[in-house]
Amino acid sequence: MKKKLKNCTLMALTLLFVLVLCNKTNTAMAQSETELYDMVWRIVNSKFLDQNSNGQDWNKWRNKYDDKIKTPEDAYVAIDTMIASLNDRYTKFVPPKEFEEEKSMIKGSLYGIGIQIGLRDGKILIISPLEDTPGDKAGLKAEDEILSIDGISTKDMSVEKAADKIRGKKGTTVKLLIKRKGTENKTYSIVRDEINIKSISVKLPENFKLDDKIGYIRLSSFMGKHSGQDFKDELVKLKDKEGIIIDLRGNTGGLLTNALDIADLFLSDEIIVSTVDRNNYKETAKSGRSFISDQHLVVLINKGSASASEILSGALKDNNRALLIGESTFGKGLVQEVKSLTPFGAGLNITVQKYLTPNGTDINKKGIAPDIEVKLTDENIKAKDDVQLKKAQDVLLQMIKNDKMTANR
């Protein structure tokens, strides 16, 4: 009897110990996730561009969620709700899984169909398909609206959730219902693959013959760590050409340093871009380190050209170094800083500055207008008739001709 009583007592003590341990674990988890929320808030309060945002009331948000954060998911919801109040679609909390994928993209590869998406007016839009990816080969275009993913409506869906559904294992298929202006809605079945982020290409559109006097470089992304150097290597190969076409169509941006490095190749001791922070502190980046080309220059832009693409094209335009041909750019003139939320494995992309072109133009939501507007219609695309590239070549040839006429006078 005593032995049974002893065993019961031991079991009771063990159970009590487990309950206490579980309670301590849950408490520690709650404190940990609350610390994550606090960390994000401290960054927002000290870094976010708009100090007058409604989201800046620390006590309001802190008191609202202080006793409700018990799990990582609770913290994520609280953080997302708080960030939504900032009214800035580019500031976002990135959970651990997505943050790892972002870092993979910078390193150079990921799995999916190769499209970059964004949220505008509550709609999930394709900003641009990456060149030679499944999405590009399937015929997806900038400004296409994604209505559903595998039959699930994107209404009220976040960009992060949409991206998560589009990504997947190599060889699997994702179905996107696409709405495109002027056409009927269409379902695209696209097989996922490994996406190698290639920044530089000299591949010309099919059936296009480039004049021997002209060189062509397509820059599809500023994301790669070595995009600036890769561009320089290609430019050096074209040193004997009299004119250069830089194709930034569909380039949604990437690392600011790459835009500065490439602008440096064409400008000498001139302003490339200025940034203004929340305290109206202005910093100006000037060229002068790597100038190697004084060739005639034309830059191709369209509505898929954003961020770093707008910095480069704006710098070349305002300094009268290049003519811009095509359509007005996307209009993303904000600087994001990527913060690693150690030790939680998550990240925070936060808007900390805005860009100004050398002439002081704020491009956010307005974009940069081309010097010569040339629209690429659906009919042009179907006929594989790149009228923008043709115009760029014609303009360069005329510049070269004018130079020779002037020299012969």
Q: Which residues are catalytic?
A: 307, 318, 332
* Phi, psi (deg, nearest 5) at residue 157: -90, 140
Q: Give the residues across from 200 on adjacent strands.
A: 219
Nearest alpha carbon to residue 288 among 309, 266, 257: 266
The first and second tokens of residue 178, run together, are 């696409």
Residue with tokens 């109206």: 280
Q: How far apart are CA 399 and CA 320, in angstroms?
A: 14
Nearest alpha carbon to residue 127 among 314, 291, 330: 330
Position 164: which residue type?
D
Residue with tokens 């490994």: 194
User: How big is the chain by its Cα radius of gyration, in Å?
Assistant: 26
CB contact at 8 A, 109 and 170: no
Nearest alpha carbon to residue 124 among 76, 68, 165, 73: 165
Name the DSSP letter for residue 242: S
Nearest alpha carbon to residue 44 among 84, 103, 76, 74: 84
The first and second tokens of residue 306, run together, are 């954003």
Integer angstrom CA distances of residue 193 from 98, 133, 135, 136, 166: 18, 8, 10, 12, 11
Bridge-based pairing state of the strands 243-247 and 214-219: parallel
Residue with tokens 């704006």: 314
Q: What crossing angle do the helices spanning 256-264 and 227-237 adopt, rounded to 10°?
A: 20
Please tell me whether residue 194 adopts helix, strand or coil conformation.
strand
Residue with tokens 């919801």: 77
* Phi, psi (deg, nearest 5) at residue 241: -80, 150
Sign of the C-alpha dihedral computed for residues 379, 382, 385 and 387 taken in this order: positive
* Phi, psi (deg, nearest 5) at residue 277: -100, -170
Name the DSSP letter for residue 230: H
